Structure 1
Amino acid sequence: MADIARDDDELEIAAPPRFRMGERVVSRSVIRNDGTYNGRDVGEVLVHKGEVGFVTSIGTFLQQFYIYAVEFIDSGHRVGMRAKELCTLDHLPDEVLAQLGDKAALLQRLR
């Protein structure tokens, strides 16, 4: 059995979760089935980079990390993800919204 990477000494659950229930998030990377998603082949893409979803629940893993269950709109998949794999769409800084220009208005329509 492979060793589980614990990302050195990070204890993420010592702080509050980074995301909240119902918060809109976007995937920062491609997520493939590691064998824990039933009905799909191992290695099959479940979530594409940039895919938008909503946090539906928050759990923990290894008493160290938060795992966010995210329901993705386009694919319909509900996938468990770490905070480092996600970016919020609901709490973007003003300077980021300014850089998005017209695309910022599109984000508002996703609500």
Structure 2
Amino acid sequence: MGLGREEEIETRGQPVFMPGTKVRATRYVKNDGTFAGREIGEMLVHKGDIGYVRDVGVFLQRYYIYAVEFVDRGTVVGMRARELNMETEAPK
């Protein structure tokens, strides 16, 4: 019997995104109560929103957490790499 699903320890490798990287959210993010000044359940980030990585941190010594600033929304949200894609689209 196993102990559950094994997950990769991300911090054994380099971060996927570095500060200054332009990224696109691949998921919706709602406030789970950890974002001060906003109601629980309030939408913080919409799928497709564009932001910039401000900082890279570590959670539980296993996962990289990217502090992404979504300028149009006026929010900085911690996100996992699987919730982001690098934005390579040329400016309009």
- State the TM-score, normalizing by the size of structure 1: 0.75
Alignment of 1:81 with 2:64, yes or no, is: no
Equivalent runs, 1:1-111 vs 2, <5 Å? 8-90=6-88, 104=89, 107-109=90-92
Give the letter for the 2:41 counterpart. G
Q: Which structure 2 residue ranges, 5 or more long, are not aligned? A: none
Give the letter for the 1:9 counterpart. E
Give the letter for the 1:20 counterpart. M
The structure in which a higher percent of residues are helix is: 1
Q: Which protein is bigger by CA-based radius of gyration?
A: 1
Identical residues among aligned pairs (%): 47
- Larger RCO (alpha carbons 8 Å, 6+ apart): 2
- Number of aligned residue pairs: give it: 88
- State the TM-score, normalizing by the size of structure 2: 0.89
Q: Residue 25 and residue 42 in structure 1: after superposition, are their counterparts in 2 closer, same or farther (change >3 A)? A: same
RMSD between aligned residues: 1.3
Q: Which runs of 4+ in 1 moved over 4 A?
A: none
What displacement does 1:85 show?
0.2
Say which SS state the counterpart of residue 108 (structure 1) adopts. coil
Q: Which structure 1 residue ranges, 5 or more long, are not aligned? A: 1-6, 91-103
